[in-house]
Structure 1
Amino acid sequence: MNTIIPTELSEGGLIIYIDDIIICSDSWSLQLERLASVLHKVAEVNMKISLKKCNFGFEELKALGHIVSALSLGIEKNKVAAVLLKPIPQNKKEMMSFLGFSSYYRQPLKDFAILAK
């Protein structure tokens, strides 16, 4: 996907992860402009898009286990439950495993590194 979308489109406003494209903007007009550019490029290379998998005009979305909006980055509730349901580590190996598992969600957790010590 990164090879299809030109650099000028992907700088500021597009997040590309494998075959997913997230288009971000500060205004609806800019959103539509970026969407048109992406769709034009997709059509140019004869790429197919599944409309069933598309979401348009949302202020918040779920991506890679996170809830992303203009104001915050959060963790999906079912992912929080998975961390909370893990058994309490009983030894160093289990603790290292737990920290590795939970560190995927470290970004929205203030002072995660300090808490993990």
Structure 2
Amino acid sequence: MEAAGVIEPLDNPWAAPTVLVKKKDDSWRFCGDYRRLNAMTRKDTYPLPRIDDALDHISVFAAIRQAGLRLRETVFLGHIVSAEGVATDPAKIAAVHDWPPTTNVSNLQSFLGLASYYRRYVQDFATIARWLPA
């Protein structure tokens, strides 16, 4: 491949060893061994919080604040937080409900990305999503 000009040698401290792996359909895939690179990579000091963790954290404080301020509910990151807990925002669910039928894989992936944001509220979400037509 080097002689054909497809690849070229590289002397770089960030380069990773690569191998070609034959796939089931007899095509080839480049695979990189990033273990050495990962060992040199610094971890984030402050990793991004997961939305579920943020909502759980807010729910506790929301109940306390709402008791004092007499607020019934507030919207936070597409969720309604109230003294009763966390629920979906009807305006955001309308976007999922009104999504046009998917016509190809790309449209289906976009829809699943949107719908998956609310998967914690849908029992057996993966089972339901498995049968969505592309």
TM-score of the superposed pair, with normalisation by structure 1: 0.49
TM-score of the superposed pair, with normalisation by structure 2: 0.44
